[in-house]
């Protein structure tokens, strides 16, 4: 199994997840090292707390031995996305942006609309590509992905959805 960053627990890979070698000998992914510099102004090893001299992340060498442990014939690790952003539009064209966990039920979109915009959960029906979304199934099971536009109809006093 491919090694993981000890801070974010994501698998090392090329780019932002490249393992950078710190002066103490430990490795942390580039994304986490950049976050450390932004938050503290220094590169302090999250494992042993030794400070690496300098704050230029681009000067740190990539630990290619860790990258080489991922063989070419193995499947690249899938990074689980924890939140996706979708746009909900009503019939008048008004737009509402919400962020939700793709593994949560569709009801979470309704709850987000209530929490962020005060829209009544009971008066909302959601559709994607002309199909009504199944509220008891997960967002990803309904085929909703990052950036999708979801249509919303609302029921007004005494009306039907």
- Give the Cα separation of 93 and 69 in Å (integer): 50
pLDDT number for residue 76: 52
State mean pLDDT over 45-72: 82
Confidence of residue 73 (pLDDT cuts 50, 70, 90): very low
Which of 42-46, 123-127, 155-159 is predicted with the least confidence, judged by mean pLDDT? 155-159
Confidence of residue 1 (pLDDT cuts 50, 70, 90): low
Are 108 and 137 in contact, with CB atoms under 8 Å apart?
no
Domains of the chain: 1-78 (3.30.40.10), 84-154 (3.10.20.90)
- Spatial neighbors of 151 by CB under 8 A, at least 6 apart, are 88, 89, 90, 91, 126, 127, 128
State mean pLDDT over 113-121: 85
pLDDT number for residue 32: 93
Over 70: is that where the pLDDT of 71 sits? no
In order of 21, 39, 140, 146, the CA distances from 81 in angstroms are: 26, 23, 11, 10
Are 109 and 100 in contact, with CB atoms under 8 Å apart?
yes
Regarding predicted confidence, which is higher, 159 or 55? 55
- Give the Cα separation of 41 and 31 in Å (integer): 15
- Spatial neighbors of 9 by CB under 8 A, at least 6 apart, are none
Helix, coil or strand: residue 24: coil
Over 50: is that where the pLDDT of 72 sits? no
> Structure tokens of 48?
């042993």
């Amino acid at each position: 199994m491919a090694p993981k960053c000890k801070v974010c627990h994501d698998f090392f890979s090329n780019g932002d997840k490249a393992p950078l070698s710190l002066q103490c000998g430990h490795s942390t992914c580039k994304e986490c090292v950049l976050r450390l510099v932004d938050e503290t102004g220094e590169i302090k090893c999250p494992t042993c707390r030794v400070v690496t001299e300098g704050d230029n992340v681009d000067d740190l060498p990539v630990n290619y031995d860790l990258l080489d442990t991922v063989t070419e014939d193995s499947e690249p690790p899938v990074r689980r996305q924890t939140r996706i952003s979708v746009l909900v539009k009503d019939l008048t064209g008004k737009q509402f942006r919400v962020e939700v966990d793709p593994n949560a039920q569709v009801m979470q979109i309704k709850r987000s609309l209530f929490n962020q915009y005060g829209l009544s959960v009971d008066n909302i029906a959601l559709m994607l590509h002309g199909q009504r979304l199944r509220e008891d199934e997960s967002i990803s099971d309904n085929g909703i992905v990052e950036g999708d536009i979801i249509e919303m109809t609302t029921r007004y006093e005494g009306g039907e959805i």
